Structure 1
Amino acid sequence: MASFPSPTTLSLNHLLSFVSTKLDSEKFLVWKKKIDPLLLSQDLYKYVDPDVPIPSRTIASENNTQVPNPSYIEWQSMDNLLISFLQATFTAPTLSQTPSFPTSRTLYSHLGSSFASQVNARTHQLTIQLQTIQRGSQTINEYISQIKSIFDALANTSSPISDSTLVLNTLRGLGPDYDPFITAI
């Protein structure tokens, strides 16, 4: 059975400073990119990992009666602290919309499944936005800035776009004034 050491509340509070992105409906993947390595580096990922067994609540004593398992008690204490830590990384609206869960594992699993559809919808929306963007009356700097914003947002999804796709969509939206430039490229 795996041992579950107990980082202190103070050390978890210190770790909060490494999570500059609070979890909200548009930043799940960015948040997850920060949380996962942090949990792994502190040997806390095992609390949210469904492949790591949770210690049993009781164990058999010398006289074959069931007694509370000290490993479970330690695990439960750390798991509750981890729930509080994870919730401290949420925005207020996200926290108010998140139900209570008995373990950090069920909380973490819920976050992954509930944000998956939002991530897919946001990725789809950004991809369409990039495919249909037009320079119109914008200056070249405004146009490129808008494309960069879309590209950066897509980079933080599960489906970042390639450089060639970015270039093709950027050139396509420039308009007829840039046809000689586009042809040359």
Structure 2
Amino acid sequence: MSHTNLTQVMAPFGSSFNQICSVKLDGSNHIIWRSAIIPLIRGRKFDGYLFGTKQCPPKFLDKSEEVNPKYDEWYSKDQIFLGWLYGSLANNIAGQVTEFMSSTNELWLAIEELCGANNKAQVQVHRTMLQAYRKGSQTMMEYLKKMKEISDSLAIAGSPVSSKDLISCTLAGLDSEYLPIVSV
């Protein structure tokens, strides 16, 4: 690969991933992390490496032991990008996907599988919390704040709550003293 091409590949990543994107995937912020990462990747036209649509060329030229220059270029870019993507992971996630470090696409698929399952579980837990949460002895402000936090957590997880559902769950969690308001 020429020096210019390597410089162009590395340029968007700078000396530190944190200069590009301050969001590190920690398991609870998959949707936010993904939303920050994908535009950066598409903007530099590296999405083929990530999604597996830019296939690795054969390592050797036809029937020889000479290394294919297209393979060298693809492999170099993929490894730089793999390191960059790995650098966007918090330690708790990185430790769970270390074995998938041979290509950018393999790492991406492992992250999506791991966090997709976590995300579905988080959505279920927060939906249950939203439906079961009660005001109890809290002030109205504390109660409303907590309901909003649960709703926001669902939105971040990619499963936003409609205003109608939030109002319904909030009213259902009020004590009997609020019955005149709830029954209106």
Bigger mean CA deviation after superposition, 175-184 or 9-18: 9-18
TM-score by length of 1: 0.86
> Which whole-Å CA distance do the structure 2 matches of 1:159 and 1:148 have between them?
14
Q: Which moved more, 1:144-153 or 1:122-131?
A: 144-153
**Cα offset for 1:109?**
0.5
Is the contact between residue 16 and residue 85 of structure 1 (CA under 8 Å) also seen in structure 2? no
Tell me which residue corresponds to 2:171.
171
The total of aligned residue pairs comes to 177
The residue aligned with 2:150 is 150
> 1:162 is matched with which residue?
162
Gaps of 5+ in 1: none
CA contact (8 A) 2:126 2:153 kept: yes
Q: Write the letter of the residue equivalent to 2:76.
A: S
Question: Quick one: distance in 1 between partners of 2:53 and 2:96?
Answer: 27
The CA deviation string for residues 24-44 of structure 1, in whole angstroms up to 9 with x for no partner, is 121122211111121111111
> Which residue identity lines up with residue 164 of structure 1 in the other structure?
K
Whole-angstrom CA distance in 2 between matches of 1:72 and 1:44: 16
Query: 1:49, CA displacement in angstroms?
Result: 1.3
Q: CA deviation at 1:67?
A: 2.5
SS in 1 for 2:98: coil
Q: Deviation of residue 84 (structure 1)?
A: 1.2
More helix by share: 2
Match of 1:42 in 2: 44
Residue of structure 1 in register with 2:60 after alignment: 58
Q: Is the partner of 2:61 in helix, strand or coil?
A: strand
- RMSD in angstroms over aligned alpha carbons? 1.9
Structure 2 segments unaligned to the other structure (5+ residues): none
- SS of equivalent to 2:116: helix
Q: Is the 8 A contact 1:48 1:108 kept in 2?
A: yes
Instruction: Name the structure 1 match of 2:66.
Output: 67
Q: Which residue of 1 aligns with 2:21?
A: 19
SS of equivalent residue, structure 1 residue 53? coil
Partner of 2:127: 127
State how far apart, in whole Å, the 1-side matches of 2:45 and 2:149 are: 35
Taking structure 2 as the reference length, the TM-score comes to 0.87
| Cα distance in structure 1, aligned partners of 2:95 and 2:64 | 42
User: Which segment is superposed worse, 155-164 or 69-78?
Assistant: 155-164
Identity %: 25
1:9 aligns with 2:19: no
Q: Deviations over 1:119-172 (max 9, x none)?
A: 111110000000001011111111111111111110022322222111110111
Tell me if the contact between 1:123 and 1:154 (Cα under 8 Å) persists in the aligned partners: yes
1:31 maps to 33
